[in-house]
Protein backbone atom coordinates (compact mmCIF):
# COMPACT_ATOMS: atom_id res chain seq x y z
CA UNK A 1 0.00 0.00 0.00
CA UNK A 2 1.41 3.35 -1.04
CA UNK A 3 1.43 6.25 1.45
CA UNK A 4 2.46 9.90 1.22
CA UNK A 5 5.67 10.92 2.98
CA UNK A 6 7.09 14.43 3.13
CA UNK A 7 10.44 14.75 1.42
CA UNK A 8 12.47 17.95 1.36
CA UNK A 9 14.08 18.97 -1.88
CA UNK A 10 15.57 22.29 -2.91
CA UNK A 11 13.48 24.15 -5.49
CA UNK A 12 13.56 27.63 -6.95
CA UNK A 13 10.63 29.40 -5.22
CA UNK A 14 10.18 31.71 -8.21
CA UNK A 15 9.83 28.74 -10.55
CA UNK A 16 7.23 27.17 -8.26
CA UNK A 17 5.26 30.44 -7.97
CA UNK A 18 5.05 30.73 -11.76
CA UNK A 19 3.67 27.20 -12.22
CA UNK A 20 1.67 26.57 -9.02
CA UNK A 21 -2.01 25.67 -8.88
CA UNK A 22 -3.38 26.35 -5.38
CA UNK A 23 -6.36 24.13 -4.61
CA UNK A 24 -9.16 25.11 -2.25
CA UNK A 25 -12.22 23.08 -1.29
CA UNK A 26 -13.97 23.29 -4.66
CA UNK A 27 -11.77 25.20 -7.08
CA UNK A 28 -8.21 26.49 -7.37
CA UNK A 29 -6.34 29.63 -8.29
CA UNK A 30 -3.25 30.37 -10.33
CA UNK A 31 -0.29 31.54 -8.27
CA UNK A 32 1.16 33.35 -11.29
CA UNK A 33 -1.75 35.69 -12.15
CA UNK A 34 -4.19 35.05 -9.27
CA UNK A 35 -6.98 33.82 -11.57
CA UNK A 36 -9.75 32.29 -9.43
CA UNK A 37 -12.23 29.47 -9.96
CA UNK A 38 -10.01 27.04 -11.86
CA UNK A 39 -11.08 23.37 -11.87
CA UNK A 40 -8.00 21.81 -10.30
CA UNK A 41 -8.94 18.26 -11.26
CA UNK A 42 -8.64 18.93 -15.01
CA UNK A 43 -6.77 22.21 -15.66
CA UNK A 44 -3.43 21.78 -17.39
CA UNK A 45 -2.91 25.50 -18.02
CA UNK A 46 -4.26 28.75 -16.58
CA UNK A 47 -7.21 30.06 -18.62
CA UNK A 48 -6.08 33.68 -18.03
CA UNK A 49 -2.26 33.77 -18.33
CA UNK A 50 -1.72 30.44 -20.13
CA UNK A 51 1.03 29.17 -17.79
CA UNK A 52 1.48 25.39 -17.61
CA UNK A 53 0.83 23.96 -14.16
CA UNK A 54 3.69 21.81 -12.85
CA UNK A 55 2.96 21.97 -9.12
CA UNK A 56 -0.11 21.84 -6.91
CA UNK A 57 -0.66 22.84 -3.29
CA UNK A 58 -3.71 22.60 -1.07
CA UNK A 59 -5.05 25.17 1.37
CA UNK A 60 -6.84 22.33 3.19
CA UNK A 61 -5.90 18.89 4.37
CA UNK A 62 -7.32 16.85 1.46
CA UNK A 63 -3.85 16.07 0.16
CA UNK A 64 -4.44 12.44 -0.77
CA UNK A 65 -7.66 13.22 -2.68
CA UNK A 66 -5.98 15.98 -4.69
CA UNK A 67 -2.84 13.93 -5.33
CA UNK A 68 -4.99 11.03 -6.59
CA UNK A 69 -6.80 13.36 -9.00
CA UNK A 70 -3.59 15.02 -10.23
CA UNK A 71 -0.71 12.51 -10.19
CA UNK A 72 0.87 14.51 -13.06
CA UNK A 73 1.69 17.43 -10.74
CA UNK A 74 4.31 17.70 -8.01
CA UNK A 75 2.58 18.29 -4.69
CA UNK A 76 3.99 21.22 -2.70
CA UNK A 77 3.22 21.71 1.00
CA UNK A 78 1.26 24.98 1.09
CA UNK A 79 2.53 25.99 4.54
CA UNK A 80 6.15 25.53 3.42
CA UNK A 81 5.40 27.54 0.27
CA UNK A 82 3.82 30.41 2.22
CA UNK A 83 6.69 30.50 4.70
CA UNK A 84 9.36 30.51 2.00
CA UNK A 85 7.69 33.13 -0.20
CA UNK A 86 7.01 35.28 2.88
CA UNK A 87 10.70 35.19 3.84
CA UNK A 88 11.70 36.14 0.29
CA UNK A 89 9.25 39.08 0.26
CA UNK A 90 10.56 40.27 3.64
CA UNK A 91 14.19 40.10 2.47
CA UNK A 92 13.36 42.00 -0.72
CA UNK A 93 11.45 44.63 1.26
CA UNK A 94 14.42 45.35 3.53
CA UNK A 95 16.93 45.34 0.66
CA UNK A 96 15.15 48.23 -1.05
Tens of pLDDT along 43-66? 999 999 999 999 999 988 778 888
What is the arithmetic mean of pLDDT over 57-85?
89
Decide which of 86 and 33 is more confident: 33
C-alpha 60/C-alpha 27 separation (Å) is 12
Helix (H, G, I), strand (E, B) or coil at 83: helix
- Structural contact between residues 47 and 11, judged by C-beta atoms closer than 8 angstroms: no
HSE of 61, CA atoms in CB hemisphere, 13 A = 0
Q: Per-residue pLDDT for 37 more than 90? A: yes
Phi then psi dihedrals of residue 29, to 5 deg: -135, 155
Q: Which pTM does this prediction carry?
A: 0.86
Asked if 49 contacts 19 with a C-beta cutoff of 8 angstroms, the reply is no
- Across the chain, what does the average pLDDT equal? 90
Confidence at residue 94, expressed as pLDDT on a 0 to 100 scale? 73
Amino acid sequence: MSELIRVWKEFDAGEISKHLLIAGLLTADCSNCRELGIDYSTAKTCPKCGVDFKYIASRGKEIKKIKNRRPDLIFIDFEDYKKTTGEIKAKNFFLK
